[in-house]
Amino acid sequence: MNSISPSLKETPSRLSPFIALQSRDFRLIWFGQLISVAGSQMQTVAINWHVWELTRAPLALGLIGLARLIPIVFFSLVGGVVADTRDRRRVMLVTQTTMMLVAVSLGIVTMRGVVTPLAIYGLSAVAAAALAFDMPARQSLIPNLVPREHLTNALTLSSIVFQIATIVGPGLAGILIGSYGVGVIYWINAVSFLAVIAALVLMHARPKPQVEANGQLFNLHALREGFRFVRNSKIIFSTMLLDFLATFFAGANTLLPIFATNILHVGAEGYGFLSAAESIGSVVTGAIVSLLGDIKHKGAILLASVSLYGLATVLFGLSNLFLLSVFFLMLVGAGDTVSTILRQTIRQLVTPDNLRGRMTSINMIFFMGGPQLGEMEAGIAATLLGAPFAVITGGIATVLLVALTAYAVPALRHYKD
């Protein structure tokens, strides 16, 4: 853990909303992620649009989520053990390079005109497998780069950089797809990974592995220890389950190409703005949270933010006006950002450093499994009953689940730090 310099020893009321960026290594990874995530978000938008152009089938869009989910389920638990038993920085170097090669491959098959939905699914699965190792290593690395009292700020800034990237990325992707096609997006994303790779190479911090590897890639005892910790922590498990169910039911992103073309009639450019709308709301909300500093009533505000996420999803499904739809998606992003910041802060504060990788990997099944299975569910529901019905009922289910969680887990409702 970095020592705290005199300039950082301020009272909470005087802390800068950007104080975590005073830590050099965190600043490097923050700026690297800003560029790389923008490229990745451009690619996500491009893949959805590409599959929609190739098939015009809602179910085909849903299969993108399934292609990503299967590797996550298979590899995320191994990724968590690796994050706790190996050099987290080196793990990220391998995973970032792998995802860069996936983007290059997508660019090549698109440029040659031999791309098929199956090829897109397969390469998306490879990228998801790399992400299953990358996310536990990355999230576990952040607490090693900043002082403990600045962790909430670091996680807030990490959320903000993600949301800034998802404003710039989809908006730019929509314009470029309309002008040049999807192929150029894959090449841009490939180059963007160099920013994170450079940040990792320049980083001074070399956090040591937290658990003895004993020459094994996968330590079953270490995995069982991680499961026991999550199972015995009602706070952590309830936030994971709520995250999974909310994103399973209320995710509307996969169906945005349908709303853009068939309901709002705004084309690829409008699709780009719809894809960026959530992130606009997220950045504004993240900036407000950063200015407010530490939040005391974390549990109650977490539940309220997930309720907003579900309610705004319902309103988006009901809208057939472009600007109103953009506004409701901004509210979705606002609720999601507050929820994400608080969930991550609670988990990182409650979890010992030697268990962070495994906790993150178990959470990844919930965090990534919910949206990816939700994409499949949304694709099926949209095929059978229409996209608006799929979105509206998902939002209603989310609000009901929040009420059930608040009743069943009073420890979460009353959680303070």
Q: How far apart are CA 124 and CA 129, in angstroms?
A: 9
- Predicted pLDDT of residue 101: 98
Q: What percent of the chain lies above the pLDDT cut of 90?
A: 34
| Mean pLDDT computed over 295-315 | 88
Q: In the predicted model, is pLDDT for residue 217 greater than 90?
A: no
Supply the pLDDT for residue 282: 80
Among residues 170, 195, 189, 230, which one has the least CA distance to residue 48?
170
| Predicted confidence band of residue 283 (pLDDT cuts 50, 70, 90) | confident
d(CA 379, CA 348): 34
Give the tokens for residue 151: 């962790």
Residue 131's pLDDT is 93
Looking up tokens 């990237």 gives 165
Q: Tell me the C-alpha to C-alpha distance, in Å, between residue 11 and each of 307, 332, 341.
A: 33, 33, 22
Confidence band for 210, pLDDT divided at 50, 70 and 90? low
Two tokens, residue 367: 């965090």
Phi-psi map region of 113: left, alpha, beta (phi>0 left; psi -120 to 50 alpha): left
The share of the chain scoring above pLDDT 70, in percent, equals 92
Examine the pLDDT at 22 and tell me if it is beyond 60: yes
Inform me whether the pLDDT recorded for 294 exceeds 80: no
Residue 290 has pLDDT above 80, yes or no: no
- Average pLDDT of the segment spanning 280-304: 79
In this prediction the pTM is 0.70
154-173 per-position pLDDT tens digit:
887 887 787 777 777 877 88
Greater model confidence, 98 or 204: 98
Query: What pLDDT score does 230 carry?
Result: 85
Task: Tell me the one-letter amino acid at 240.
Answer: M
Residue 15 reports pLDDT greater than 80? no
- Residues 227-263 have pLDDT tens digits of 888 888 888 888 888 888 888 887 667 788 889 989 9
What the block records as the tokens of 69 is 């989910």
Section 211-223 average pLDDT: 61
